[in-house]
Amino acid sequence: MSYINDLHRDEIRSGWLVTADAKKVWNRSLEIWAEVDRICRKHNITYWAAGGTLIGAVRHNGFIPWDDDIDLWVTRPDFNRFVAVLKDELAGTVFEVKKNFLSLVQISHSQTTRIDDTYFDGTPQGISLAVIALDIFDDGTPEGFTAINALCESYIATYNYSALEDISRHGGQLFNDLAFLKTVSEIPDNADKVKFFWIFAEQLFKQSDAISSFEVMLNNAAKPFRKEWFAETIYLPFETVELPVPKMFDEVLTAYFGDWRTPVKFDQQHMGYIHSADIPWREFLQRVDVKKLLPPDEEA
């Protein structure tokens, strides 16, 4: 099924050349989106176009001409419900989970190839879509301040508990009980640590009216939103389909990008070192010596 008009023709959009090859990647991305949309509708999970995908929907009625992937936002409670059903829902389909992080899950198309990593450990290497959790952020209230610090401490405990011990030893303030954090630090399996974080983040979700991506927070690049901006959802054209977006998209985009109305072109696309909309990634890795195709300083 084609979700892109003139799928096999090059086209100029907003002064940018969009090749037929790029459109085929877009189409595969929309195939993944259609599966995600099916799952979300079935389980009553609300999601919105995120980041550049949201700009594309609002400003271009489709992909930003120099972009090539789809990102979606969900609140933490819905993210947890989505991940919980994902394995069963994807069973028997051409879609698979590529990566599972604290606040992001990537779903890829097994019949495509996108080599964006030089370490091949069995992780799917297909064209992918990201579903990103929105967690609480400091909203300026005592409750919000306490909750976000408690969440950050639980994260630190899983990887650097001694730092929290040091804070406590020197009389610093902790927002969780140290014995609780010690228990968190002793969770043996990394996947179980991630699951604990998901549960704890959901328990704290009502304690603040501000939200953001936790991984963005970790990089000290937090772009907090207000929950009220996501209270209503509308649908906007996106290529030949419609995507849900926050009704208050202007507030969301301004907080995230600043002047989002002025296009800012960039040369680096997300397609990876090697990409194909037609060749399954497992077949590609079996038949091609990837080392010969990667840049010299990026050899596998």
Residues 279 and 188 grouped into a single domain: no
Report the relative pairing of strands 71-75 and 225-226 from DSSP bridges. unpaired
3-state secondary structure of 247: coil
3-state secondary structure of 20: helix
> What is the CATH classification number for the domain harbouring 110?
3.30.460
Range of the domain at 196: 142-208
172 part of a folded domain = yes
Residues 104 and 166 grouped into a single domain: no
Residues 157 and 233 grouped into a single domain: no
Phi-psi region of 35 (alpha: psi -120 to 50; beta: other; left: phi over 0): alpha
Question: Which among 199, 205, 175, 204 is positioned nearest to 187, based on CA atoms?
Answer: 199
Residues 147 and 231 grouped into a single domain: no
36 part of a folded domain = yes
Q: Please name the residues in contact with 55: beta carbons below 8 A apart, sequence gap of 6 or more.
A: 64, 253, 257, 260
In tens, the pLDDT along 61-118 reads 999 999 889 999 999 999 999 999 999 999 999 999 998 888 999 999 999 999 876 6
Residues 79 and 199 grouped into a single domain: no
- Overall domain count for the chain: 2
Distance (Å, whole) CA 66 – CA 125: 22
Low-confidence ranges of the chain (pLDDT < 50): 268, 298-300
Backbone angles phi, psi at 248, to 5 degrees: -90, 50
241 part of a folded domain = yes
Residues 121 and 22 grouped into a single domain: yes
95 part of a folded domain = yes
Q: Where are the alpha helices (DSSP H) in the chain?
A: 20-42, 51-55, 76-90, 142-169, 178-185, 190-203, 214-218, 249-257, 281-287
Residues 107 and 242 grouped into a single domain: yes
pLDDT of residue 299: 45
In tens, the pLDDT along 116-147 reads 766 677 889 999 999 999 999 999 999 999 99
Question: Would you say 117 and 137 are in contact if contact means Cβ atoms under 8 Å apart?
Answer: no
Distance (Å, whole) CA 124 – CA 184: 30
Overall pTM surpassing 0.85 (yes/no) = yes
The Cα diameter of the chain in Å comes to: 66
CA 145 to chain CA centroid, Å, is 25
Residues 120 and 48 grouped into a single domain: yes
Residues 126 and 104 grouped into a single domain: yes
Question: Would you say 74 and 131 are in contact if contact means Cβ atoms under 8 Å apart?
Answer: yes
Q: What is the DSSP secondary structure assignment for residue 291, as one 8-state letter?
A: G
Phi-psi region of 289 (alpha: psi -120 to 50; beta: other; left: phi over 0): beta
Residues 200 and 146 grouped into a single domain: yes
216 part of a folded domain = no
Backbone angles phi, psi at 92, to 5 degrees: 80, 5
